Structure 1
Amino acid sequence: MTRFNFYQGAALLPLLLMLLLQEWLAAGAIVVTLILVWILVSTLLGKTVDKPREENVENITSVNTNAILVSMLQEEIPPCIDELKDDLNKTQQINSESFITLNSAFYQLLRMSAEQSASLHKVLFSISKDKALALTGKEYYDPDAIDLKTFIESTHQFLNICSDLMMETTAQSNDAVNKIAVMESQMNNINGLVDNAQKIARQTNLLSLNAAIEAARAGEMGRGFTVVAQEIRLLSDTSNKFNEDIRGEVTQAMTTFVEAKSMVESLAKDNAEKSSQTQSRLHLELIKFAELEESLEMNLDNLMSLSVDTKACVNDSVRSLQVEDIISQLSEHSVLQAENMKQVLFACSELLSAEKNVDQDTFVNKLKVAAEQLKQQSLQVQNKTISTGSMNEGEIELF
């Protein structure tokens, strides 16, 4: 029979290696490793004693070592594991509350982002239907709706028509001025004709006077010529009066034509200047209006792109919040592993307390069986946890 000594302590190495594979439980494994190192040093020191006292020293060292190891396994390490389990439970609770709040906030942000996108699409639709359709692929059917781009084009056409009408009015005014000038010239011609008629009337009057003189010389024979001469003179006087009346009317008409010509010339000049100024100003305003429409389209394009990017980021954030599930399951797994480690420590302490006279092979076999059971329990729990290797879309379902 070989008592529990360095070799039995070394039998704990498989358990130590298994514990080291359990990620964060490496701290517990380090504690056990330190205990085994201390046992190893104590055993090696025991072997340097004189041969006659070797057996007694070995027995005393083994008993003391077992007692200290049992005390550590039962009294010091379990409270640390319990404290670790409490911390894990608190961490799990805090994570759960925090992620619930974050998840709610991100869903609100996602909803507001969707509403913002809808509002931006309506604004873009009111500016340019074609642009809205090209960006979003959606089309709102409203036969009475008109977008800003169409309104600008219609206004541009209407203003061009008004400008053309003003230019046409100016041209017609210029034509009217020319017509009045022609009529003024014709009136002058009429005055010339009236002057000629007056000359003829004066000559006729002179001829009638000469005829009357000749008739008076002829005496009784020329009395008939005297009557004819008087009638010719009367006709000449009437013709002169009629010519004077015509001259008066023509002169008055010419005055009216001159005034009309002056008014039409002034109107045509003002129309030409105002038409040119208005056309230039309208052209500049339409250019500014087109630039404004283009700027609005550009800014709305950017806003739509930002809205789409924001929605994608929010979706990624919501999906990333699935880490709360991962942390929760890993915390549960860690708590179970801590409990398993605690049970193993108690089992080791029981073996150290009760199996003092067991031979080395039997002791090692029991430790291997305990280690294998712990490994199987760990695998069963680990199979229930989710993979934490990636958070890519598709590997985790949304809430």
Structure 2
Amino acid sequence: MESKTIAVTGLRHSLDLVLDGLKGDLGRARAVVRDAVGHLLVSFKGLESVVATQRSLLESVSSALKDNALKNGVGLAGTTTKLLTEFVDQVVRVSGISMQIIEHVMVLSEHVDGIARDTSGIDQLARESRFIAFNARIETQRAGEAGATFKVVADEIKRLATASATLSAHIRHEVTESLGCLGRIRKSATDLASHDMNTAIESRTGLFDIVRRLDEVNEVLESTLSRVSNLISDATRSLQFEDMLTQLIDSITEKVNTLGSLTHRALAAAADESGETFKHLQDIARELDCIAKPGAVAQTSMKRGDVELF
């Protein structure tokens, strides 16, 4: 009898856990609906405001372009074409000089590569000199005062010195050629700087003024479109509350069905006089513990990153 009482107490505790879980699911469902509706209201009000701003902006741009065309007697496209033509002529001339500079730079690069290769040769000579000096010290220690090997060392050092001199002369030649290239580059750069760019500057100023005005309009339009995109994203995300509610309701329905089935089994087990009542109640309690776990949807708001439905 005492064991039966313990089993019934455990069953009651498990039932309480299941009911608490059901209440929690319903509370989350209400919170999700409330939060989603709030987001929808804010998003659609924002969309209404953005659409009104776009309409006003586009009307302003259209009016300004019409006024400018009437004032200058030429359309915006014609003015832009003229400015671009002048720029193309200037760019062609500048390109010719730029190509000369590029050719000189390529030649200079070849000479610099030669210097780099020669520098590697100097490094090799230095390593050989250190090696010979090291051998000379060893021979000195071995021979004592005889000094017969010093002649060999002197000859080797002389050979290395001659090679170094030849290499240095070659480096000087390469450097001289490099300086010549630099002089030609400097002359080309001077020609470019002295070229009459007044017309190009005036044309560029006029074009930049048009581009600046268009950029200002584009910035406002981009900002507006970005706001529209964000508002639409918020609205779309908020509309997912229907899927979340479906999952919550399905979870609640499944738990209620399981709870009903287990309740019937518990009543049948309580009325069983065969001595298996305690075992049946324990099995039912374990099944109740399983369905008392949290449902498929745990969030209580529609914030970014909260929706994990699939």
Q: TM-score, normalised by structure 1?
A: 0.34
Q: TM-score, normalised by structure 2?
A: 0.43
Q: Identify which of structures 1 and 2 has the higher relative contact order when contacts are C-alpha pairs closer than 8 Å and 6+ apart.
A: 2
